[in-house]
Structure 1
């Protein structure tokens, strides 16, 4: 996968202020506010910054956490996981492997009842949804 590299000025020109804050500064949208939190549309979720395929709708589940939740990325190489010690806690940050944009966090082994027992808690503003072609 070819990496996408842009200057911060280029990112600011491409993204809205909210998108820039989440994707480039590691911000978070308010819970239950994102456009994909409750969607059931079948398709592919892509990085809003670079278009890389990140998640598929068949791995999306209702976690009731306030953000879209997935139990696995589309491909193990689609995301990068980093230790995040901000806000007085230890979490695992999820970033786009192609453009290094912040997506959200992943939580492991908390009884989610999913095939992986993982919850990728992803900001809607960091995603775009490409609906599947009607069959």
Structure 2
């Protein structure tokens, strides 16, 4: 009537407010913890990316240097060139065999385009040919 409430109601409302405050505090602490974990994870990933980039740049320079050396060797030694071509052909056959085994393992069709990617992409639809009205 005049904004007065009973002691019991006051105690009940105060307990509910304290419970809500505690729930919100726990929620905020959990969010802060997750944010801290996310920051640490990003820092770790950035450090790993920087290290990988440095390795990649170093290896790219090394590959270029070795490519120049191989070119110089192949120009000077025809037998070496023939040996390298044989090794290259053997590695290509090996890569083709491994690719075929991988395709077989994941259910890809042998030697042809994928007719239906539905088994691993449930929402995939066959593209419509261009110039055909829907």
TM-score range, shorter chain: under 0.3
Larger Rg computed on CA atoms:
2
Q: Which structure: greater helix fraction?
A: 2
